[in-house]
Structure formats: C-alpha cells, structure tokens
Amino acid sequence: MKSKIEDLKAKDVMNKKVIKILAHANLMELRTLFRTRQITGVPVIDDYGKLIGVISETDLVQADTHRSKNHEGDVHDYFKDDWQSQETVMDFETHGLETDALQEKTVEELMTPWVVSAAEETPLTEIAKQMHQEHVHRILIINQKKCLTGIVTSMDIVKAVSQLNGKKEKA
C-alpha cells in the first residue's frame, strides 16, 4: 500500500467483486438476484461490460406507480442507502409485477440510465470529495472503455486511511 492518502487512487482500494446484472435480463432474473443476494439495487451493464445504469427497488416502485423517472438533481437511492446489506427484499408481486411482467420486461426498460461513477485513476481524495458533494456512500469505478471494474464505498476509504495511519504509528 502507498504511504500517503494523496497517492492512493480508486483502483488501489476498490472492490472488484461487484454484483451486477445485464441490461437484457428480465425482471424474473432481477428478482432472483435480489432475493438470493439479499440486495435491493444493482449496477446494470451491457453485453460488453459497459456500465449503463442502475436498478433498484425504487425503480420498480416508480414503474408501478407510473411516476416520472427524471432523477436529475437527485441522487439515485442505489448510491445512498446500504443496498448490499438490506435484510428485506421487496415482494415484486406486491408492486404489480406479476409473473408475466417479470418475464416480459427487461432491466433496461426500468433502470435509471445514469450513475455516480469515477475512473480507476481518480485520486481517492477526489472520490471522497465526490461522495461528500453527492451525499452518497458508494461510487462505481469504470475503466477507459466505461466498463464497470469495481466499487469504492465510504468504508473502503475509512479502511485505507486507517491502514495508512497504522503504518505511520509503527514508524
């Protein structure tokens, strides 16, 4: 690990194991992913691994209530709440998503087509600044081809700072 926080980049601390779903997956596959992984949101990628959006329970509820999907100026819930450790997963049928709709509709039809992301080479200090400005706890990391390569959470930053501080104390 590097010796100063200013030397760290997103790629140095990111988690490369990101749960994701393909855009052409149907909602039945999304429901299965949400239930088996006990999550409530996930990045959406195309067949080439390019990050093209996010989908969460919020998107499904909004589709059910026919509310506008214009999120400009508001950060998607995927980036705000602790979506990877939710204890309850939404009952899709409760929100009007019957079995037929789950098999016919694709993730791409309901996803939010914008994300909070940063490049692998982005300094960690900039990632932290972006999190603070956007009031979010996670940033998706992409490479030069816009392919999803990882995720940096606020806890990843805390861990990196803690490890750097530990090295300083030992010196």
CA distances from 77 to 12, 71, 87, 115, 162 (A): 26, 10, 16, 11, 28
* 77 has pLDDT over 80: no
**Residue 102 CB contacts under 8 Å (≥ 6 apart), including other chains:** 26, 27, 28, 31, 92
Q: Do the Cβ atoms of 82 and 53 come closer than 8 Å?
A: no
Task: Please tell me the CATH superfamily of domain 5-170, with its number.
Answer: CBS-domain (3.10.580.10)
Domain residues of the chain, as ranges?
5-170
E strands, 21-135, where? 21-22, 41-45, 51-56, 117-119
What mean pLDDT, rounded, does the chain reach? 81
The model's pLDDT over 24-67, given as tens digits with 9 standing for 90+, comes to 999 889 989 998 999 888 999 999 999 999 998 888 777 655 54
Q: How confident is the model at residue 166 (pLDDT cuts 50, 70, 90)?
A: confident
- The mean pLDDT of 14-23, rounded to a whole number, is 96
